[in-house]
Structure 1
Amino acid sequence: MPLVTIIALCYNHARFLEAALDSILAQTYPHLEVVLVDDASTDGSADILRRYAAQNPGWQLLLLPQNLNNCRAFNRGLALSRGEFVIDFATDDVLLPERIARQVAAFEQAGPRCGVVYTDAELLDESGRFVRHYYRRDARGLHPRPASGLVFADVLERYFISTPTMLMRRATLDALGGYDETLSYEDFDFWVRASRDWEFQFLDIVSTQKHLHPRSKSAKSYRRHDPHLASTIIVCRKALALCRTPAERAALVVRVRWELRQALRHRSRPEARELYQLLGELGAVRPVDWLAFKVLG
């Protein structure tokens, strides 16, 4: 039975923290390693983490003296761990009881080249009330459409993975050197680099509850001076270097053009200039792109 590491990352999650940690204890999968990482919280989260670590002597506790942000904090926890599979668990979320057991079984069925198993999620408001599932379902299927197998072009072109639901193979993380600590967020970069050589598998279950609240990273995206947009440009340039086929470059064009529209919409002029330049390097500038850039950029 493979060891699964849960790296529980906390930054000012006191309001949600007990429910998150209780959801670890409720897992039906028995072979777990838990690393609690507090990224210099200021809301009393550290006291809650100390209490749970004392009650569960096998859990490791890392209290960072200064805020490092998610990528660096995760890598610190990863360095302390030894599991064959790893969950990056934000402690404002909740793991449903069968999650790890079902995902480990999916990995065993998918084979050794599978680097990620991901699922559907329940999205909750700040009060814990159900809002919707991550994937919308109708007679035509799931939206956004999940993809399995070699999904490099898919992750370039569109967002379709619910990040909190991922179970990652440690060998995949090790091959990438963990998260890129120069970036302000981790998921798009991880998807791009991991999907180049590793398969992803969608498991059609709900495994996780994710809270939607204004302090989350996604709620702050694409605002003016958003640091995530600069990181996205870096990842797009990494993706360009990794593209091997015209179809993959075409998928990257879709991504860059979409990011350019967001930058123009939010008046992020320096980032818009970089994205416009990247579109030119891809040989994909259209008259409408040029006009939008000249009017808004």
Structure 2
Amino acid sequence: MNQPATTDLPLVTIVALCYNHARFLREALDSIRAQTYPHLEVWLVDDASTDGSVAVLQEYAAANPGWKTLLLSRNVGNCAAFNQAFRQSAGEFLIDFATDDVLLPTRVAEQVAAFQRLEASYGVVYSDAELIDEDSRHVRFHYRRDPGGQLHPRPAAGWVFADVLRRYFISTPTMLMRRSTLAQLGGYDETLAYEDFDFWVRASRLAQFHFLDAVTTRKRLHPASMSRRGYRPNDPFLASTIRVCHKALALCQTADERAALAVRVRWELRQAVRWGNFREATELYALLREAGSIGPLDRALGFYAGLRK
């Protein structure tokens, strides 16, 4: 069978976002070069690193003349840095690739093939990930499986708006996003400290999500990762989460969706009180009341937070 010409395949943009990833950068960039999918546009974006990352990025850009660089002179954060590359890119599909992670060789090929089997209403394909430590050693997989390899429960797919409100289940680094979905959203919200929850909420209202049951990415776990910093006093992540929850409430259309949001807000309220973020806890309590789901413990936590803020 004749293989399709490269130009007959959808262009996939990889936005490789770097901030002080010098230690991991070569492994990450080598994983882009190892992709079996031939029709790629690569943007190397540095968000004002201070650890020698720029020199490595420039070295790889010189060795791969088709790769583009965007070296920012001041730190603008992930959302704004990604958007700058997104708005200059041309891919039909995009990967937001943190350069402390690693793409497995068939990652892009498998996910593009999945998109080509799906209806145009699908905006995201996501998958399983292998979690690794700072020395690239296996820790575990993102999803838990039974001895037969089956997922319990199976990750949500289709119209997942209520699912993304209720619980965390998507491994962000595994997502391949349709450009038209991102464009409808105007890219990431640059006023937020992080992007994934807001993207899931807004995108799932517009498009379906597909789960590809394959390990496509190695996700790095280390103390500097964003996921390890949430809920500490004065951390900006909680304020962003509250803003996204307000957006989600405005997008809810059914009682089930409001109940799903209440599950999320209730959990965030408990974390806010646990870590002493009492002002944010009072905001979350007010939001829970708007969602129409208040229990005795919620009232107690809201009262306690009000006294302590």
Matched, 1:268 2:281: no
Instruction: Judge conservation of contact 2:282–2:305 (CA < 8 Å) in 1.
Output: no
Distance in structure 1 (CA, Å) of the matches to 2:130 and 2:272 = 29
Distance in structure 2 (CA, Å) of the matches to 1:33 and 1:17 = 18
Distance in structure 2 (CA, Å) of the matches to 1:156 and 1:15 = 35
Aligned residue in 2 for 1:173: 182
What is the percent sequence identity of the aligned residues?
A: 68
Distance in structure 2 (CA, Å) of the matches to 1:143 and 1:226 = 33
Answer with 233-242 or 278-287: which moved more: 278-287
Matched, 1:213 2:250: no
Matched, 1:51 2:78: no
Matched, 1:101 2:105: no
Matched, 1:67 2:72: no
SS in 2 for 1:138: coil
Distance in structure 2 (CA, Å) of the matches to 1:296 and 1:131 = 37
| Residue identity in the other structure for 1:34 | V
| Residue identity in the other structure for 1:55 | A
User: Structure 1 residue aligned with 2:299, among 287, 290, 296?
Assistant: 290
Aligned residue in 1 for 2:3: none
Distance in structure 1 (CA, Å) of the matches to 2:304 and 2:269 = 13
Aligned residue in 2 for 1:223: 232
| Residue identity in the other structure for 2:174 | T
Matched, 1:17 2:25: yes
| Count of paired positions | 297
Gaps of 5+ in 1: none
Distance in structure 2 (CA, Å) of the matches to 1:161 and 1:95 = 16
Q: CA deviation at 1:138?
A: 1.6
Q: Given the two structures, how large is their TM-score scaled by the length of structure 2?
A: 0.94
Q: CA deviation at 1:111?
A: 1.6
SS in 2 for 1:112: coil
Kindly provide the CA deviation profile for residues 9-56 of structure 1, in whole angstroms up to 9, marking residues without a partner as x. Answer: 000000000000000000000000000000000000000000000111
Distance in structure 2 (CA, Å) of the matches to 1:42 and 1:279 = 41
| Residue identity in the other structure for 2:64 | N
Aligned residue in 2 for 1:247: 256
Provide closer, same or farther for how the CA distance between residues 264 and 143 of structure 1 changes in structure 2, counting only shifts above 3 A: farther
Provide closer, same or farther for how the CA distance between residues 154 and 128 of structure 1 changes in structure 2, counting only shifts above 3 A: same
Kindly provide the CA deviation profile for residues 156-188 of structure 1, in whole angstroms up to 9, marking residues without a partner as x. Answer: 100000000000000000000000000000000
Aligned residue in 2 for 1:36: 44
Aligned residue in 2 for 1:138: 146
Provide closer, same or farther for how the CA distance between residues 186 and 143 of structure 1 changes in structure 2, counting only shifts above 3 A: farther
Q: How does 1:81-160 map to 2 (within 5 A)?
A: 81-138=89-146, 141-142=150-151, 145-160=154-169
Q: Given the two structures, how large is their TM-score scaled by the length of structure 1?
A: 0.98
Kindly provide the CA deviation profile for residues 118-172 of structure 1, in whole angstroms up to 9, marking residues without a partner as x. Answer: 0000001111110000001126942564111000000010000000000000000
| Residue identity in the other structure for 2:151 | L
Distance in structure 2 (CA, Å) of the matches to 1:196 and 1:274 = 24
Distance in structure 2 (CA, Å) of the matches to 1:252 and 1:145 = 20
Distance in structure 1 (CA, Å) of the matches to 2:203 and 2:290 = 24
Q: CA deviation at 1:294?
A: 2.6
Answer with 141-150 or 228-237: which moved more: 141-150
Answer with 141-150 or 96-105: which moved more: 141-150
User: Structure 1 residue aligned with 2:193, among 179, 184, 190?
Assistant: 184
Distance in structure 1 (CA, Å) of the matches to 2:147 and 2:270 = 31
Distance in structure 2 (CA, Å) of the matches to 1:296 and 1:231 = 19
| Residue identity in the other structure for 1:39 | D
Distance in structure 2 (CA, Å) of the matches to 1:67 and 1:217 = 15
Answer with 282-291 or 175-184: which moved more: 282-291
Distance in structure 2 (CA, Å) of the matches to 1:216 and 1:173 = 24
Provide closer, same or farther for how the CA distance between residues 41 and 144 of structure 1 changes in structure 2, counting only shifts above 3 A: farther
Distance in structure 2 (CA, Å) of the matches to 1:179 and 1:296 = 31
